[in-house]
Amino acid sequence: MSGNVQLLNDTLAATRSEGRAALIAYLPAGFPTVDGGIEAIKAALDGGADVVEVGLPHSDPVLDGPVIQTADDIALRGGVKIADVMRTVREAHEATGKPILVMTYWNPIDRYGVERFTAELAEAGGAGCILPDLPVQESALWREHADKHGLATVFVVAPSSKDARLAEITAAGSGFVYAASLMGVTGTRESVGAQAEDLVRRTRATTDTPVCVGLGVSNAAQAAEVARFADGVIVGSAFVKRMLDAPDDAAGLEGVRALAADLAKGVRGQA
C-alpha cells in the first residue's frame, strides 16, 4: 500500500475550492493511552477537522510548549512505541478516510531507520510527515524514501526565515508548508498575526504548495482570523488542553469534538 500524499493534496484542493482554509488538528499518539489517543483523533475528525497530525512523543520536545510536553510525558510513561504511532495512524485513517500525518523530531526516525519508518507509515495509510527539526540540506535520504512510498514531506518555516531560505525549503517540501508563528506570546496579538500573515505572503511567493499556519490558535475567532490569509489553520495545544482539563476520558473526547466543531465554523468564516 502506498502512502496517501494524493489524499492530502486532494483534501487541501477541496477546501480551497470551497473558499475556506483547512482545519488541521494535532494530537499526540499514546495520550492519554494508545486507545484513548485513537479515539481523540477520531473525535477531532468527527467534529470537523479535515486533517490530523499525530505527534510522535519525544523525551525532549524542544519546539513544544508545556501543554504538549505534559501529554508527551504521559504517553512516554505509558510506554508508547513507534509501532503504537503506526497503529494510531492506521486506525484513525481507516475509521475516517481522512489524511493522517505524523509530526516527529528527526532523532526517533534516524534510530528506527528511514526506510523502515517510511515503509511502515505508507503501509498504515499515512499521508506524510512533518519534520520540524530536519534541515532541508540534510533531508535527501528521507525525501528519497518518502517519494518512493507516496508520502508528503512537510517542512517548517518561521518568520525569521529569509526569502532565499524560504525558496529552498518550499522547493524541497510537499503536501503543505507549515508556517510557524506565535500569538499572544511574543508582542501583541495583532503584531504577531501580522507577522504570520507576512510569512504566508513571503512563502507563497516561492511556491504553489498550500501554506498552513500553526499560531497558538485556540478558538473560532482566532481560527477565522488566520483562515483569512492561510490555506490551513493548525491547532494542537488547545485540543490537548481540553483532554488534560477534562474530569474523565469521555468528557475529554466530547471537549475535543466540540472544539473541532467550533474551529470548523471559524475556518468557514462563521465564527
Digit-coded pLDDT (tens) for 75-118: 999 999 999 999 999 999 999 999 999 999 999 999 999 999 99
Highest mean pLDDT pick, 159-163, 222-226, 230-234: 230-234
**DSSP one-letter code for 48:** T
The CATH-assigned architecture of domain 5-267 is Alpha-Beta Barrel (3.20)
Express as a percent the part of the chain with pLDDT over 90. Answer: 86
- Asked if residues 221 and 238 have their Cβ atoms less than 8 Å apart, the reply is no
Structure pTM?
0.95
Q: Which residue has the higher pLDDT, 191 or 225?
A: 225
Q: What's residue 271's pLDDT?
A: 66
What's the mean pLDDT in 14-39? 98
Q: How confident is the model at residue 59 (pLDDT cuts 50, 70, 90)?
A: confident
Q: Encode pLDDT of 166-203 as tens digits.
A: 999 999 999 999 999 764 443 334 555 788 999 999 99
Q: How long is the chain? A: 271
Q: Annotated catalytic sites, by residue?
A: 53, 64
Return the C-alpha cell found at 158.
518561521
Cα 245 from chain centroid (whole Å): 22
Q: Say what the pLDDT of residue 182 is.
A: 67
- Mean pLDDT score of the chain, rounded to an integer? 93
Residue 55 Cα distances to 224, 255, 263, angstroms: 24, 19, 20
Domain boundaries, the chain: 5-267
- Report the distance separating Cα 234 and Cα 241, nearest Å: 15
What burial class does residue 190 get, using C-beta atoms within 10 Å of its C-beta: 0-12 exposed, 13-18 middle, 19+ buried? Answer: exposed
Predicted pLDDT of residue 177:
98
Question: Residue type for 124, please?
Answer: A
Reported as a single tens digit per residue, the pLDDT across 13-22 is 999 999 999 9
